A and B are shown apart, each in its own frame.
Chain A
Amino acid sequence: MKGNRFVPFALAVGLLVVHAPVFAHHGSNSYDSKTLTTLKGTVTDFQFINPHSEIFFDVTDSAGVVHKWVAEAVSVASLSRYGWTKNSIKPGDQISITGNLAKNGSNTMRLSKLALPNGKVLTVERGEDYAQ
């Protein structure tokens, strides 16, 4: 979601965030499994690794402030079986990314799906009971 609804949220998060994205690997308990949120941003890094791949991206709010985010996905094997490769995303890609936000208010989400600049949508098979 973009626009007005995002701005107050981004400002609130901006007050809480530290220099690096606050990353939490706690399993499904840490994420709001019932709600999906979509953000638009620019990829800064893509770590195609085990046990969880990471997508680092910048989101710029309407005030021009850049917020650093990270999306956590599943393992390399699981992503590969859904068509991902290490070249699926590159720094600089403008993406629309959907996932479950971390409950602790950090700029972290658990990935559900991601839309690439060319329109292709990458999804994942998720291990826990998340909103689809």
Chain B
Amino acid sequence: MRGQTAPERAAKAPAHDLTGLWRRARRAPDKKRQYTIFELTASLGNEIAPMTPWGEEKFNAAKPNGGAKGVSLAESNDPALKCFPPGVPRIYTSRLGAPFEIVQSQGRVIMLFEYDHIVREIYTDGRPHPPDLNPTWMGDSIGRWEGNTLVVDTVGFNDKSWLDSVGHPHSDALHLVERIQRVGRDTMIDDITIDDPKSYSKPWVSHMRFELKPDWSLLEYVCEDFLNFQDLEQRSESPK
């Protein structure tokens, strides 16, 4: 379970083929320090660029449930807690350990996320982004192969989602470029360049690593079930 065996690492990646069930890997990037599960699976990494004043203001207004500046569910303004789509790249961190499946068909690479059945459709048939895009929660994605790397370009985001679960911001100018590469049969990396000059002083990269879970299948996680706990939390916070 922990990491891969030498033969697994050596198994070659098929060409132009990202199909399979993938999950955020729990192997630390290096052995020099202890990484928390949060850092490995729910964080966007530690290369976040300094925010602009606009970005800082938005970040300070965010009230996440959990983390260093976490508040209660009732006080949180995290849109994901109201079951709005998490956006990208936050979808890769939703529900620690929740996997997604990649299927490929003519002209499309489709990501099916276990979290709330969210779907990302990446058009690989050469089409450009449509002009005058309506802003959406998950953006508009097109992709092309460069060698064995799928380069995915996503624009057209609204500004209503958070970039991550601690409330890092993004604007509707967010432009993501993902370089997705299957580096072995069982390992896939995604280097995500976050380019949002309204929120960050320069582009920065979130490095993600995924491992293949051939024995798993997608199960169901319905976000609205989370609302089961609003009542319970209120009960737990009433004076004893």
Partner of B233, one of A25, A77, A80: A25
Q: For the side of the interface on A, what is the size category?
A: 20 to 34
Interface bits A19-41 vs B (CB < 8 Å: 1, else 0)? 01011111111000000000000
Tell whether, in the assembled complex, residue A25 and residue B240 are in contact, meaning their CB atoms are under 8 Å apart.
no
A81 adjacent to chain B (CB < 8 Å): yes
Residue of B with least CB distance to A20: B235
| C-alpha gap A47/B219 in the complex (Å) | 17
Partner of A127, one of B97, B216, B225, B229: B97
| C-alpha gap A126/B96 in the complex (Å) | 9
Q: Contacts A23-B236, A25-B232, A50-B226 given: A127-B96 contact, CB under 8 Å? A: yes
Q: Contacts A50-B225, A51-B226 given: A24-B236 contact, CB under 8 Å? A: yes
Tell whether, in the assembled complex, residue B96 and residue A22 are in contact, meaning their CB atoms are under 8 Å apart.
no
| B237 / chain A contacts, CB cutoff of 8 Å | 24
Q: For the side of the interface on B, what is the size category?
A: 20 to 34
| B96 / chain A contacts, CB cutoff of 8 Å | 127
The residues in A between 114 and 132 inclusive whose CB is less than 8 angstroms from any CB of B are 125-129
Interface bits A51-82 vs B (CB < 8 Å: 1, else 0)? 11000000000000000000000011110110
Question: Taking chain A's interface residues, is the majority helix, strand, or loop, or is none over half, making it mixed?
Answer: loop
Q: Contacts A51-B226, A77-B221 given: A26-B240 contact, CB under 8 Å? A: no
A-B contact pairs, 9 of them (CB 8 A): A16-B240, A22-B235, A25-B73, A25-B232, A27-B66, A29-B66, A76-B219, A77-B220, A104-B236
Q: Which residues of B contact A (CB under 8 A)?
A: 36-38, 41, 65-66, 70, 72-73, 95-98, 114, 216, 219-222, 225-226, 228-229, 232-233, 235-237, 240
